[in-house]
Structure 1
């Protein structure tokens, strides 16, 4: 009788223990979901609150210490200047955006095939890489006047400067991404009968995409810098040209307005590249996994 009661209590304790484990797992899952939601909200709220606090301190400090507007204009004056000159700012932003995008796409169109050549042919890599590295040691600001002498004051020299500054990260990140694959994946693809071309497009290229997009995100910010450098040296329009004019006329509020427009432009372009990465990489990786699973089946 006592043995039966003991066995019943043991079964009930095991059931309670199983139930408590389920409760713990459910609680842990709920905690994880709340943590993820908190991280998503905090990633937006924290920067916004910090920026708002900095702007408030800036406004109060300028007015309390009576700082002249030509030294540090209050944010309210900068916002008013942006509204007053909104047409001018938008017009110059459009010019700078065209230069940035043309230089950026040129860096992709030339940098990615160049990286493929560096990865596929070691002799080509030994020939080209020293030239690429040495070219990056030359300050682009120093050769910008020479480009203006050669190509004039039109759109092309600005695009060329943006390209020269932006293409190097594309080349290096693509070459590193293509070469940094685990040998086991290549052996697995060969054991499944995949050709070299299929292995490249189904295994190696999807594996390299995170590194490639890392270079593309760096490149888009450098393209912004290159376009502004070109406009500084010999621009007739664009945000860089507007900054030069505002600086020459001591129009500090317009100078700050141009800096804000340039910052927003760079952030938006970076986020667009990040969005493209979000769209491309999961689809590529799932396609590669599906291909391996089909071959294994």
Structure 2
């Protein structure tokens, strides 16, 4: 079976299982007479989505932009910090414990501080998304940079290139699979960070939609926003998985 057929089969099985899940959900809710405020049927949630698609698209766009901004910052700064950690023992011994300590602090606990420092615009959401996502990039990038095979490193030294050439032509390509794996984790964490920021202080975004719908017990709207978030998360992860296949064809 070729790759395209395998991919099509996976998509078909995934779509079929999702359809079965939705049908069972709809059937159970209606036969057991569950109140919509407790658990709305999928038909009501889909009706909410299609009926108010512009509303959800606007808020999803805001959440997407803050997520991508936080993720890009986490990717750039995370790889830079990982490079410095691998290249300098002094930097590793002084900075790495601080990074681990910051990562151990619950981000929800310090989210209000970002609102105090940065205001109620998009900046605190980007900062929280960055803070939650950056550690995953650092850990996997450090692992990748240190896992380059010894014979590859020896070959690079024999060729006697500059340290910059050695990094970009030997270490970075060898570490790229690990770095991209960390980024696939980080993009999901950045989305979580953006939602946390919108929970704390926001007038836009899917996190704001969920929080305001909770206040009015609009369970259907909560489920609709969660579905949009799930689709967004799958799309972002899929985009990075595609980039991984394109950038590391040898894998």
User: TM-score, length-normalised on structure 1?
Assistant: 0.81
Structure 1 residue 118 displacement after superposition: 0.3
The higher-RCO structure (CA 8 Å, 6+ apart) is: 2
- Counterpart pick for 1:137 among 104, 125, 129: 104
Structure 2 residue 63 is the aligned partner of structure 1 residue 100: no
1:79-90 matches, cutoff 5 A: 79-90=46-57
Q: How many residues align?
A: 251
Alignment pair present for 1:49 and 2:22: no
**1:116 aligned to which of 62, 76, 83:** 83
1:154 corresponds to 2:121: yes
Give me the whole-angstrom Cα distance separating, in 2, the residues matched to 1:36 and 1:162: 35
Aligned partners of 1:193, 1:134: CA distance in 2, in Å?
A: 39
Could you tell me which residue of structure 2 aligns to residue 65 of structure 1? 32
Matches within 5 A, 1:253-264: 253-264=220-231
Structure 2: gaps spanning 5 or more residues: none
Report the Cα offset of residue 196 of structure 1. Answer: 3.6
1:206 correspondence with 2:157: no
- Looking at structure 1, the residues matched to 76 and 166 of structure 2 have their Cα atoms a distance apart, in angstroms, of 23
Correspondent of 1:267 among 234, 237, 243: 234
Aligned to 1:249: 216
SS, match of residue 219 in structure 1: helix
Residue aligned with 2:248, SS? helix
The CA deviation string for residues 128-176 of structure 1, in whole angstroms up to 9 with x for no partner, is 1100111111101001112212222111111100010011111111111
1:278 Cα deviation from its structure 2 partner: 2.1
Distance in 1 of aligned mates of 2:2 and 2:242: 23
Considering only aligned residues, what root-mean-square deviation do their CA atoms show, in Å? 1.6
Displacement, 1:252? 0.8
The 5 A counterparts of 1:164-203 are 164-203=131-170
Task: Give 3-state SS (helix, strand or coil) of 1:71's partner.
Answer: coil
Match of 1:127 among 87, 94, 99: 94
Q: Gaps (5+ residues) in structure 1?
A: 1-33, 287-297
What's the CA shift for 1:190? Answer: 2.8
Instruction: Tell me the CA shift for residue 35 of structure 1.
Output: 6.0
Larger Rg: 1
**Cα distance in 1, alignment partners of residues 63 and 72 from structure 2:** 14
Q: Deviations over 1:164-203 (max 9, x none)?
A: 0011111111111111011111222333444443332222
CA distance in 2, matches of 1:35, 1:201: 34
